[in-house]
Amino acid sequence: MKPIGHALSVQLLQNALDQERIHNAYLFVGSQGVGKRTLARWLADQLLYLPGQRRLLLDGHPDFYTLEPLDTETGKRAVIKVDAVQSLIRYLRQQPLVSSRSVILIDQADTLTVSAANALLKTLEEPRKAVLLLTTDQLDAVSTTIRSRCQTFYLQALSESECQAVLAPYVTPAPAELVALAPGQPGQILQHCRMVNALAPISSALAQGVRSPHECLGLAQSLKALTQTQQMWLIQWWQRSLFDQPHLLECFDHAIAQLQQSVQPELAWDVLLLQLNRNGVWAVTLPEPVSLHAPMPVTAEEAVERTKLAKSRQAQKSNGSKKTKSIATVIPVDVEQTTATSDVQTPQTPALKQLTLFPKRTVTGSS
């Protein structure tokens, strides 16, 4: 099935497929959640399919290789290092097993280190029997030498009707206040929906607020049970509601910096909540939970975060640690889906940015 939206790009790529005029490398550029990875995966599927052959699932295809900037130990966005590119080069020395070519997806090409980018240049020029597909939402951060070797497609935000068509299998209609955070970016909107639902068990405690240092510490104890992505989303949502109080924004910026630097989450929340409490800010109201028609796909980043969190909880349980009473319940990891996938227009491994809330063989940049 062709991707929704981006009609001109889809048509140009379809023409290239029909005429068998395939470029060595393609670079898909656009904001987070606009459908870059979806379009790249659609093209990969078309390139790998042979007429008369049973179509294989892309993630299980032996000739499809993904390179992405994800630290499999922490679940955080990382960089793609030269070792990962060298592994890719070794892979390309092999003959395709099923198809006439291999297809390589390099997600977030802007995270390639200088040495990794340099190591990739010759492969981009002479990829043997392979086509390379790169994505980025930060074109200026992609090496000019890499950009010059790719055919580039610029993807714009989807129209309102296209966006709703992408969202329809999951949520209809999407909540207006979440759509407003990422107009034309259905992947980001789905990410917002996911965060709202994950925070639902604690939303009443957040709305009720904390009015004493003791309650602040209790809430911080509960908030540390969230994944880092969920904590970042909550901080950014709360920060957004206080734009009319600029003297408080530094408190949120400091908390974000602490979480990004792997400071103990409970400590970061202790400091933030106590600062807000002293300034008369006790509560935040979250959007209502979103009723979903179908489970939303889990990103690779979330899959790693969930595994890490589950291991941590299992270790605490085996050590006989006692649960600490707090103002809110510990947040369970939502189990809508437990495997990473990317077959919708959804952002993958997003960077932790202000208000940007938002394998077959998969090699991560930390290898």
Same domain, 62 and 147: yes
Decide if 164 is inside a domain.
no
Decide if 327 is inside a domain.
yes
Same domain, 151 and 222: no
Q: Which sign, positive or negative, has the C-alpha torsion 202, 204, 209, 210?
A: negative
Decide if 2 is inside a domain.
no
> Which among 52, 109, 104, 103 is positioned nearest to 79, based on CA atoms?
109
Same domain, 193 and 257: yes
Domain assignment of residue 87, given as a range:
7-158
Same domain, 73 and 18: yes
Decide if 349 is inside a domain.
no
pLDDT of residue 18: 94
Same domain, 325 and 183: yes
pLDDT of residue 216: 84
pLDDT of residue 320: 54
Same domain, 241 and 129: no
pLDDT of residue 78: 81
pLDDT of residue 218: 84
Decide if 309 is inside a domain.
yes
Give the Å distances, CA to CA, from 271 to 46, 190, 275, 276, 362. 52, 30, 6, 9, 38
Same domain, 29 and 49: yes
By CB neighbour count within 10 A (0-12 exposed, 13-18 middle, 19+ buried), where does 327 fall?
Answer: buried
- Collapsed DSSP state (helix, strand, coil) of residue 27: strand
pLDDT of residue 356: 46
Same domain, 317 and 188: yes
Q: Which of 158, 178, 201 is the last residue of a domain?
A: 158
Q: What is the CATH number of the domain that holds 137?
A: 3.40.50.300
Same domain, 220 and 135: no
Same domain, 194 and 111: no
Cα separation, 307 vs 303, whole angstroms: 6
Same domain, 246 and 146: no
Q: For the chain, how many helices (H) and strands (E)?
A: 14, 6
pLDDT of residue 334: 37
Decide if 59 is inside a domain.
yes
Per-residue pLDDT of the chain (367 residues; tens, 9 = 90+): 788 899 999 999 999 999 999 999 999 999 999 999 999 999 999 999 888 778 888 888 999 999 988 765 555 668 899 999 999 999 999 999 999 999 999 999 999 999 999 999 999 998 889 999 999 999 999 999 999 999 999 999 999 899 989 988 888 788 888 888 898 999 999 989 989 999 998 888 888 877 788 888 888 888 888 888 899 999 989 888 887 787 888 888 888 888 888 778 888 888 888 888 888 877 888 988 888 776 666 555 555 555 555 556 556 555 654 443 333 333 333 333 333 333 344 333 333 333 344 334 455 565 4
Same domain, 187 and 324: yes
Give how many domains the chain has, as a whole number.
2
Decide if 356 is inside a domain.
no
Decide if 131 is inside a domain.
yes
Q: Which of 158, 185, 217 is the last residue of a domain?
A: 158
By CB neighbour count within 10 A (0-12 exposed, 13-18 middle, 19+ buried), where does 321 fall?
Answer: exposed
pLDDT of residue 137: 94
